[in-house]
Structures are given as structure tokens and as C-alpha cells.
Chains A and B, each alone.
Chain A
């Protein structure tokens, strides 16, 4: 404390200082749900060789040595791993803030108690609608009632309750009722999240992307709720990037603070990066995390802004939005070094405008969702082999 009194500002800026602060561990791609916006790869069913418990513990230890503070266990459904409690206990012992990202299936009260005992800090539970019929349709399983029960159990055990509600065209008009539901189960945090259009979500984009009017109305209701609920429930809501003027600052930049490990040990700067086929991502089976983070070509590829082309290179906003998302640029324009086409300055921005128009077209014939199933994955492989 300075002798002459107290400083005004309590927070010190936490940039990564080159450290991977966030570790995202995709423990498995196995999942009892079939959500059509799943961000897992289209060939998720071919990843059978998951890392062992010892591998995950080693990754956690190496991450902590490098200054990682937060770990998220996700998937697939992390509860499908028999060693989830063991892995959580190790992470907690190492000093991580531990987050479990779950669909709730398999998260019984016994398991919750064991996780609490293991030191788990928080659970982010996904729920898709306030209406059981809609939830079950969207996830392709009878899951709604279990999810609600799990929400109550989470509260009963004294965990903070974070609900993650993905917003899509079919459910967004229920915003008011969904907010009521979240209030009823006493959620502490609500992430009313926009679907990001990669992998399964991209296949289903026309059916999932809400219209601009739907988004504007939902935002009004969210703002009302924020006003009314104050600190009782913290609500995170951002306008979907397709409807925004500037792109999202994806992962705060490539290889800046995020490190994802896929079930097979592949290390990536985000969960979607494998979309970029030309990049050879390293595996924790072959290298330690420090080499992967500091030395591997894959992680330094789009660090900083040297890789940027125009219009990013000379843009005043480049430090705020880091040029958007490399995966989205690659997927939609074929070149990961292009400006994210969500940006109004991008020469490819028409792709986004056309997608919004296509989804909104009057008289468009809705198609059924392509659910994230083993059967769909194998059908997709067959049809792409036939092309």
C-alpha cells in the first residue's frame, strides 16, 4: 500500500503476459445429447482414442506450472468420463478454479456430492428452453426434466448455478418465459448465448439463425430483466456476431490466453481450430504444454497482428477485435488471414448479409435439423466421398 493513501483503482490489468490463463479440456466427444449446433467436429464419432487419466493430470500440472488459473471440463459430455471426479480433484489440488460444462445428463446428486468433495467450484448447465417439448426436440433426447432437477440439486449443494441457454430461431421468442424459468430455479448467472456457426451449427445455420427483429426484441427483454433482477442474476448476452458491425475478439486473439485440448490430445488455440485443415496441430501425447504454447508453429501462426491483411492491418479497431475469428474467416472465405467477414469493412461481408437474408426469406421451406448423431456423421462422410 502506498504510504500516501489508497489507490483509486482496485484492479490491475490482467493480460495473459504470454500465459495460457484458460485451459479448456474436452475430455470426450461422447454425449447423450444430439444438439444440432454442436461445435464438435463433424467426424466426432471417429475419435475413439481418448487421453488417459494420467495424461489429463499431466496436462493440468503443466498448465498450472505455466500460470493457468481457470480450467473448464467440457466435451461432448464430460460426465461420460468415469474419472471426472478424480480429474476434478487433481485440478482443484493444483489450485485451478474448476468449471464443469455439462448438459446435465449423468450428473446425479451422488455425482454432484462427489464433485463438491473434490473441490469443484462451479457448474455451467445447459438448458435449451422453458418448455420440455421444445428442449427435448432441440437436444434429441428426453432431457428437460433431468436438467431442471439437476439445476435444483446444484443449488441445494451450494454451488453457484450458471445456466447456459443457447438461443436459436425456434426458441428465441420464448425469451420472457425462459427468463422466468431461470429466476424460478434461482440461477446466479445466465449466459443467454448466441450460437456460433461452426461444424454442426454451420450445417443448420438457416434453421438456427434468428432474424434481426427477433434479436432486438430479445435484447429488450434481457435489459428489462437485468434492471429488475440486479445482482440476483447476472445475465450475459451479446448480440450474435452475424448481426453485429464488428467481429468478436475471438479468444482474445490466437494463442493469447486460451488453450484447448481435444479428447485425443490435440492442442488448439480454440475448440474449433481444427476446421483450418492446413494447420498441423501438436498433440500433448508428443510434446509438453510449454513447447506447444511457446514453440509450436501452430500457436504462433496468428499471434499478434503481423499476419493481418487489409482492411485489418490499418484498422483502428484491430486491437479491440483482433481481426475477429480465424476459423470463421477460413470457413467462409477460404483464407484464415482474411478479415472475419462479420466485419462491415470486410470485402467478404456480403456472405454474412446473404446468410441473414437466406434465413429470413419469406416462404422459405424450413428443413429438419441435421442432428449431431453417429448416423448423420457417417451419412455426411458418405455423401462427401460420393462428390
Chain B
């Protein structure tokens, strides 16, 4: 029988997944950069506004679906194209940021 995986490696994002910022990372606003940053062992990442908006919602509690819904409330989604772009963008970001180790599944 295969051993249970110790580390959450699944790249596929499920709508019910709940992500949180990985505890090794510090995510905060940095005035001197006028941006949100991620600080981690030996590294710094400066985030654009989009990434920061999504990461703020990665609290380990909200599901992917909830994150998308909240963003749709914030932005004007009268154009169905915008709504689908937001959805695709969130999935893409969560995939990328998870692959980079910034987040983990709760």
C-alpha cells in the first residue's frame, strides 16, 4: 500500500480547497516598497496588487469558491468576460503560489 503523502504536493486546485500563507512566510505591507511583500528564509518577494488581494483572502478558512465570490463583489463584473477572467486568474495564482511554496492547503 502506498504511504500517505507527507507533503501537500497536489498541483490540481479544487474549488473547496482552503489555502493559507505558509507559516514560514511573513506576508505584510511594506511602506518603503509601497507594496505587499513576502519574507522568508533568505528571500524577499514583492507582490503586485492583484497577488496581494488574493493572498489576503488565503486565511485557511475561505474556500477557493469563496475567494472568487468575494473578488467578484469588489470588482465590476457586469461584463461576463471580467467575471470569468477573475475566476481563471484566481486559479492561476493559487496554482503558481502553491508551487512556489508561498501557500499550503489547510
Contact = CB atoms under 8 A, between A and B. Distances in A.
A14 B89 contact: no
B41 A122 contact: yes
Contacts of A8: 92
B51 A10 contact: yes
B101 A234 contact: yes
B21 interface: no
A12 B48 contact: yes
A67 B33 contact: yes
Contacts of B28: 95
A2 B23 CA distance: 29
Contacts of A231: 7, 9, 101
A8 B48 CA distance: 10
Interface residues of A, number: 35
Contacts of B74: 1
A160 to B, nearest CB: 4
A67 B46 contact: no
Question: How many B residues are at the interface, by size bracket?
Answer: 35 or more
A5 B79 CA distance: 11
Nearest to A11: B45
Given A3-B75, A6-B85, A6-B93, A97 B50 contact: no
Given A10-B96, A12-B35, A69-B44, A3 B82 contact: yes
A70 B74 CA distance: 34
Nearest to B71: A1
B42 interface: yes
Nearest to A7: B50
Interface string B68-99: 00010011100001100110111011001100
B26 interface: yes
A382 to B, nearest CB: 39
B97 A5 contact: no
Interface in B22-81: 23-24, 26, 28, 30, 32-33, 35, 37, 39-42, 44-51, 53, 71, 74-76, 81
A70 B44 contact: yes
Given A67-B32, A99-B41, A122-B24, A5 B48 contact: no
A5 B51 contact: no
Interface string A1-35: 11111111111111000010100000000000000
B44 A5 contact: no
- Main SS at interface, chain A: loop
A3 B76 contact: yes
A11 B32 contact: no
B12 interface: no
A21 B41 contact: no
Contacts of B40: 97
A5 B82 CA distance: 6
Contacts of A7: 48, 50, 89
A77 B51 CA distance: 39
Given A67-B33, A97-B39, A232 B7 contact: yes
B48 A9 contact: yes
Given A69-B30, A231-B101, A189 B41 contact: yes
Contacts of A196: none
Contacts of A95: 28
A35 B50 CA distance: 47
21 contacts: A5-B82, A5-B86, A6-B86, A10-B50, A10-B51, A10-B96, A11-B45, A14-B45, A14-B46, A70-B42, A97-B39, A97-B44, A121-B26, A121-B39, A158-B23, A160-B24, A162-B41, A189-B42, A231-B101, A232-B7, A234-B101
Given A6-B89, A66-B32, 14 more contacts: A1-B49, A2-B50, A6-B50, A7-B50, A10-B96, A10-B97, A14-B44, A14-B45, A67-B32, A97-B40, A121-B26, A122-B24, A231-B7, A234-B101
The 9 closest A-B pairs by CB, nearest first: A6-B89, A5-B85, A67-B32, A97-B39, A10-B51, A14-B46, A160-B24, A122-B41, A12-B46
Interface of B: 6-7, 9, 23-24, 26, 28, 30, 32-33, 35, 37, 39-42, 44-51, 53, 71, 74-76, 81-82, 85-86, 88-90, 92-93, 96-97, 101
Interface of A: 1-14, 19, 21, 66-67, 69-70, 95, 97, 99, 121-122, 124, 158, 160, 162, 188-189, 230-232, 234
